[in-house]
Chains A and B, each alone.
Chain A
């Protein structure tokens, strides 16, 4: 089953497209709220015709099938921009006028020529936008006025012909309006239907991948843990069962990271903000990294009287835990790791500082990219951890920043908007 390849495929597609969007070099953010990465499409409705289509691709989760069908609903590439449509309208007008004047006028008389112009306008309306169509309508109306007696003057003599002119103009305009509106409606329908469908597909795929991978992992770790619990193993068997269990748990963490990253990438991460006790959050995050206190010296510095902050507990806890895992893997054993929590400028700042080798200065911008790994990084990492941190804090309207400490070592700072909790009703003791 190539479910994994599907997931990673979707990463790469999304990655290439987001790269393009974010490329206007992002200066290092000062502590301020950066907009969450959501609506890419609205940000780059740029003049490049190609860029517009690219953003269509990013909109749908698991964009694999998106490009073909999105292109279908766009006009033909030759007609993609309006100057070309004006040229087309002019060309059609010239051709029809020539046919009218050289051939049809002798055959039919001048009045039915209006119908020929109308025919051309209706056909044009199927392909071009409102502006160029209006231009074409005006041209053809003038063209007919030019043919009607007195000939070769932009003036119409008889009342009949004046009526004819007015009717032509109104009918052609109305038809043009109706056709373009209908077409726009149809395009919007196709697009929204397609987006909904692709979102549903993405969700289904995530759920089934999650289920297909987690079921066997649950069986592996469950069986290994029961073997260990049974207490009837030889020392060798016990070692082997322990190895199976810990490998299963590691596999589970990798699957968890992949699914989190896929969820961020496909825009299916929805934060659930709730009042949180920061010391509780820090405590539980450190719990998720059991090796932390064994291999390193952890210090926790939470500003006294820190108020409750409205944030997504699980996402923030996971982000902090990922930063701690990152610090333990990239710094020598025995060195200290500090967690600092402060409120500053109505923002909660959660910092993780270490005493390791620090970060290469030229990598600071790319360190949060998906699958990015520092050139000198130790083997055995997915390159997902920091990308997940970024995705999780940005989903809550926050930001994350990497820097090097003055005294040496890396410093990661997460900033999350903090508003004051409403007061509690007083209570007699």
Chain B
């Protein structure tokens, strides 16, 4: 991404029509070292994204002129800049649509500023190392060697089936990112199985049983209710 030598601060573009949320985001982000540009409509947002070089976009899905998901689709036609969408509690369909249209993450209003900053950091981090190959993976008790296809937990080798291993690799590749049910099903079982969520439930249970310290209280494979799963690295 944009890491020129003279640029020490990340630049964020906020696309939200509510002046109150604009001010709040500006204050919060500037206090945490971001440079912030705000725009109030989808059209202005798209223009601003094209004209200036930003590192991350915070996009509200309820915009006055064009649907936020439409803005996202238009952005994805030419850029892979990380986009975090702002949404409200009971709009799961909207969240899924945004994620499937290329959003990197979503955050639900009302949000805690610490949570917002953490989501932005992890989206920026993913974008930064997106081009690198797969290194070995180590997090806590779990380590995966992609060359030898071995998975170990607490030093002990864990036997995984091919599907379980592919699923785990998909999660590691998109660590900290929400993967929608449809996305996972398409990647692992193919486009004909996009609605076979019980496949996914079965394999998530198996993965948790093999890899979680307490499978009934998952700490690695987190459920995003009604949306998908997030692998916490």
Task: Give A residues with C-beta under 8 Å from B.
Answer: 210-211, 214-223, 225-226, 229-230, 248-249, 252, 256, 259-260, 272, 274-277, 279-280, 283-284, 300, 308, 313-314, 317, 421-422, 424, 427-429
Known interface pairs A226-B27, A226-B31. Does A314 touch B226 (Cβ–Cβ under 8 Å)?
yes
Docked complex: B106-123 residues within 8 A CB-CB of A: 109-114, 116-117
Residues from chain B with Cβ under 8 Å of A279 in the complex: 216
Q: Which B residues lie at the A interface, using CB under 8 A?
A: 18, 20-21, 23-24, 27-28, 31, 62, 88-90, 92-93, 109-114, 116-117, 159, 161-163, 181, 197-199, 201-202, 204-205, 216-218, 223, 225-226
Q: Is the CB of A222 within 8 A of B28?
A: yes
**25 sample A-B contacts, Cβ–Cβ < 8 Å, listed by A number:** A210-B88, A217-B109, A218-B110, A218-B111, A219-B20, A219-B21, A221-B112, A222-B24, A222-B28, A225-B112, A225-B113, A229-B113, A256-B90, A260-B90, A272-B92, A274-B181, A275-B198, A284-B223, A313-B225, A314-B225, A421-B201, A424-B202, A428-B161, A429-B161, A429-B162
Q: Which 6 A-B pairs have the closest CB atoms?
A: A275-B198, A226-B113, A218-B110, A218-B109, A221-B110, A225-B112
B116 to chain A: closest residue by CB: A222
B21 contacts A421, CB within 8 Å?
Answer: no
A313 vs B159: C-alpha distance when bound (angstroms): 31
**Number of A-B residue pairs at CB separation under 8 A:** 101
A229: chain B residues within 8 A (beta carbon): 113-114, 117
Contact call B18/A274, Cβ cutoff below 8 A = no
B226 contacts which chain A residues (CB < 8 A)? 272, 313-314
**Contact across chains for B109 and A277 when beta carbons are under 8 A apart:** no
Whether B199 contacts A424 by the Cβ 8 Å rule is yes
Query: Could you tell me the distance in whole angstroms from the C-beta of B98 to the nearest C-beta in chain A?
Result: 17
Check B21–A218 contact: CB distance below 8 A. Answer: yes
**Given known A-B contacts A226-B27, A313-B225, A429-B161, A214 and B109 have beta carbons under 8 A apart:** yes
Residues of chain B contacted by A308 (CB below 8 angstroms): 198, 201-202
Report A-chain residues with C-beta under 8 Å of the C-beta of B62: 211
Query: How many angstroms from the CA of A222 to the CA of B23 in the assembled complex?
Result: 11
Q: A218-B111, A277-B204 are in contact. List 13 more A-B contacts (CB 8 A).
A: A215-B20, A215-B109, A219-B24, A220-B110, A222-B111, A225-B111, A226-B31, A226-B113, A256-B90, A272-B92, A276-B201, A314-B226, A424-B202
B18→A277 contact, CB < 8 A:
no
Q: For residue A225, give the distance in angstroms from its CB to the closest CB of chain B.
A: 4
- Partner pick for A429 among B21, B159, B216, B217, CB 8 A cutoff: B159
Q: Which residues of B contact A260 (CB under 8 A)?
A: 90
Residue of A nearest to B208 (CB): A280
| Residue numbers in A under 8 Å from B112 (CB-CB) | 221-222, 225
